[in-house]
């Protein structure tokens, strides 16, 4: 069935399209009689007419649309960020278009013929500002999530207390008595992972043994990286600190393949608290990140920027969730 147009409403009401536009935009007073305005509204309701908001917004120079750019859709964290952003956007009559960058954290391509014509602003999660230039990151209002807070091209930042999350992990493991660690670091070159590595190296003092191995963000790659790291000569680590839960799942698989028990022989920690953290056995000790709140704050920040209001906020707190993948090191650790 063809969607009724303003021309159809004008024809049904016996008035001009200009009159229909005035009435439905609630600008008729002083120009159209109350009787005519009521007749136009009745005709529109009878036809089931709905205004074309996209066309109206383009005329007004606003689309009431934000673009949320993420490195990937395969990570649950970004889905939660979108949920939070979309919730706040809907409350303010905005829409959010979710756009996974085809090149991950690398330069994002413009998904529109002209991003500036199609969008009011950009929210980017775990990206770098220079990677957003092609889609208007240097022209449209830009809010950065979980990204470098010193990036001066961003109008606002929303960050998590990532370093404090690492502090909670290390204090937990040190309290259990661990002194030999393997950091299973993400091979993704991004601010959030740099913060984790920097914090970990600062928090673990000279009396501890910290080794690092890198892995792509997949269970398979993490398993291979940990198998290789644990098979090298020298004292075996008693705890593996992973940059996220996907890597931690791979670490647990590697331990089983090598005949090690988690946590009796080897403790493993994650980061993010994805659904995966409670799907594996044993369940992961990990750092819970409030991803939906990140999205909510990101959209709130963009709305403030569009309104010309400065927006600042402290880093969102994170919380260590202790489960069954950590325990004191074995008494006779090799």
153 and 85 Cβ atoms separated by less than 8 Å:
no
- 212 beta partners: 183
Beta carbons of 98 and 71 less than 8 angstroms apart: no
Secondary structure class of 57 (helix, strand, coil): helix
Least confident interval from 96-100, 133-137, 202-206: 133-137
Q: What is the model's pLDDT at position 194?
A: 96
Q: Is the pLDDT of residue 318 over 80?
A: yes
pLDDT over threshold 80, residue 114? no
Span 114-123, average pLDDT:
70
Residue 1 has pLDDT above 80, yes or no: no
Position with higher pLDDT, 215 vs 49: 215
Cross-strand pairs, 54 = none
| 101-126: average pLDDT | 66
Q: What is the pLDDT of residues 18-57, one digit of tens each?
A: 787 777 766 777 788 888 888 888 888 888 876 554 444 4
Does residue 90 or residue 105 have the better pLDDT? 90
Higher pLDDT, 59 or 101: 101
> What pLDDT score was predicted for residue 150?
87
d(CA 113, CA 19): 33
- Which tokens is 175 given? 């309290």
Contact in structure between 258 and 265 (CB atoms under 8 Å): no
Q: What pLDDT is attached to residue 112?
A: 54
For residue 6, what pLDDT is reported?
77
Higher pLDDT, 321 or 134: 321
| Pairwise pLDDT comparison (28 vs 75), residue with the higher score | 75
Which tokens go with 171? 């204090």
This prediction's pTM = 0.77
The pLDDT of 53-69, averaged and rounded, is: 63
Comparing CA positions, the residue from 116, 68, 73 lying closest to residue 94 is 68
User: Would you say residue 235 has pLDDT above 80?
Assistant: yes
Q: Which of 189, 186, 196 is nearest to 218 (CA)?
A: 186
Asked which of 61-75, 132-146, 247-261 is least confident by mean pLDDT, the reply is 132-146
Average pLDDT for 2-12: 80
The residue whose two tokens read 């370093």 is 163
- Tell me the average pLDDT across 156-166: 97
Backbone angles phi, psi at 83, to 5 degrees: -55, -45
Domains of the chain: 6-51 (1.10.260.40), 62-159+292-315 (3.40.50.2300), 162-289 (3.40.50.2300)
């Amino acid at each position: 069935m063809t969607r009724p147009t303003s021309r159809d409403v004008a024809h049904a009401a016996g008035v001009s399209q200009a009159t229909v536009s005035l009435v439905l935009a609630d600008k008729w007073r002083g120009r159209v009689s109350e009787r005519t305005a009521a007749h136009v509204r009745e005709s529109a309701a009878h036809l089931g007419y709905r205004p074309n908001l996209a066309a109206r917004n383009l005329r007004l120079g606003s689309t009431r649309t934000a673009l949320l750019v993420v490195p990937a859709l395969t990570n649950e964290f970004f889905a939660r960020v979108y949920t939070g952003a979309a919730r706040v956007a809907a409350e303010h009559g905005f829409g959010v278009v979710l756009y996974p960058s085809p090149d991950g954290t690398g330069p994002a391509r413009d998904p529109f013929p002209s991003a500036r014509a199609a969008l009011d602003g950009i929210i980017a999660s775990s990206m770098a500002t220079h990677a957003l230039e092609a889609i208007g990151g240097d022209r449209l209002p830009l809010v950065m999530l979980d990204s470098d807070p010193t990036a001066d091209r961003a109008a606002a930042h929303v960050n998590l207390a990532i370093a404090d999350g690492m502090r909670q992990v290390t204090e937990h493991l040190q309290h259990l008595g661990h002194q030999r660690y393997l950091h299973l670091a993400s091979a993704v070159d991004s601010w959030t992972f740099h913060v984790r590595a920097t914090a970990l190296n600062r928090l673990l003092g000279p009396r501890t043994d910290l080794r690092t191995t890198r892995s792509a963000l997949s269970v398979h790659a993490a398993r291979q990286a940990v198998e290789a790291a644990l098979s090298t000569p020298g004292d075996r680590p008693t705890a593996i600190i992973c940059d996220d839960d996907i890597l931690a799942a791979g670490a647990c698989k590697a331990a089983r393949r090598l005949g090690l028990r988690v946590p009796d022989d080897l403790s493993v920690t994650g980061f993010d608290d994805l659904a995966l953290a409670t799907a594996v056995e044993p369940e992961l000790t990990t750092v819970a990140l409030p991803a939906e709140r990140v999205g909510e704050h990101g959209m709130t920040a963009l709305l403030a920027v569009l309104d010309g209001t400065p927006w600042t906020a402290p880093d969102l707190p994170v919380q260590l969730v202790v489960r069954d993948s950590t325990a004191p090191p074995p008494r006779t650790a090799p």
